[in-house]
Structure 1
């Protein structure tokens, strides 16, 4: 069974489980967004072009959840794919009133990729958040970015509210890709976010270290991103 078929089966299982559970036990949510440039960990996935994005999530009272998120991508004509679909199974819990822990397994999939290329890979991601403002995240994969080598992503972030509707967010991160790609890189991000009803309007500046430009020529470095996300 190939990776694409496995991804379809995982998605079908998430939908089936959500459908048979009692309605009161499941909380459904989602998001719809458009961004001027889909930037993932400092690297443009659309070569600077705009992308529509959609996410759906089903969460149980116990903290377990499943979600699906998708976006258009542009990796050039040779690979064939023009979409990313992320399948997530995880657990989220708030404890001691101030701390939140989220642990999940994310499968990044790229439907339509031409064989023999295989861009799909798994990553275990853990995020610890304090007071909904400060967070530390670690992502670990044995096949980071489908490189067939181990990768570890470490991120520290913070939110700085100015008003109830307006805030700044900062991120500093390091992506260890030495085993798979022979280099690692660092990244930073500064965002201004304004929330209007259920819509987040975001303007972000992204910066990466020079090693990212070597690993991902043309899609790393400094770039600006603007997005609007409707949360429902």
Structure 2
């Protein structure tokens, strides 16, 4: 998927706020290593249907501020040059009233090795409101979506349905407003089955997109299956 290139000053300011927090605060470190049969982002394959290794790390302060780093292989064709995506995240997360959780972050997607004059790096502000760690509403906002110079808004609702301690289903329904950029938008749905064994998650997912997604992103949208295994540490 072709990204956009906004001013990254906001990302630098928020990152500075995270890592300039008082040293006395406790730091919580976590991470993950995964292998997926197809890196699918918002219903669109980022690897042209091929497998991708992925690695992530996250540092969280007592105040709720956090920083994260996540990477995956990608395949946007020979013209792009880059074969990797590295995401830099600075955000804040807080649980309140016992049941609600709010996460707000600024994510910078970067693509090292991209051939000039292409610049695939971009930022997005993402806010997620969750209830009981089972239901969530996510909103992603960009003022320069997909390198178009136009606004784009991504809206997602999701739910988890646990069946015992180790097995659960997750469902997602979403809409990507790209009218300003492409004169068209698309919707997507996802159904995943996840089995947890210790620190390992085994996931099988089905992805579906509306016909308009195939017109915007030919060859990498539509119905597809994804299988993934991730180790969380």
TM-score normalised by structure 2 residue count: 0.91
Equivalence for 2:73: 72
Across the aligned residues of Structure 1 and Structure 2, the Cα RMSD in angstroms comes to: 2.4
> Secondary structure in 2 aligned to 1:128?
strand
Question: Residue 35 of structure 1 contacts residue 226 of structure 1 at CA under 8 Å; is this kept in 2?
Answer: yes
Q: Which residue of 2 aligns with 1:222?
A: 223
Cα distance, 1:166–1:144 mapped onto 2, change above 3 Å: same
Cα distance in 2 between the residues matched to 1:23 and 1:147: 44
Q: Deviations over 1:76-98 (max 9, x none)?
A: 00110100011100000000010
Specify every segment of 5 or more residues in structure 2 that has no aligned partner in the other structure, as ranges: 1-7
SS in structure 2 of the partner of residue 104 of structure 1: strand
Tell me how far 1:23 sits from its aligned partner: 7.6
Following the alignment from structure 1 to structure 2, what is the Cα–Cα distance between the partners of residues 229 and 145?
29
Higher RCO (C-alpha 8 Å, min separation 6): 2
Aligned partners of 1:92 and 1:102 also within 8 Å: yes
**For residues 120 and 181 of structure 1, do their structure 2 counterparts lie closer, same or farther at Cα, with a shift above 3 Å needed?**
farther
Structure whose residues are more often helix by fraction? 1
Quickly say closer, same or farther: Cα 1:32–1:154, change in 2 above 3 A: same
Structure 2 counterpart of 1:187: 188
For the 8 Å contact 1:191–1:205, the answer to whether it is kept is: yes
Q: By how many angstroms is 1:182 displaced?
A: 2.2
Aligned residues between the structures: 227
Q: Shift of residue 72 of structure 1?
A: 0.3
Q: Partner residue of 1:151?
A: 152
SS of structure 2 residue aligned to 1:180: helix
TM-score after normalising by structure 1: 0.91
Note if contact 1:84-1:108 (Cα within 8 Å) is conserved in structure 2.
yes
Shift of 1:112: 0.7
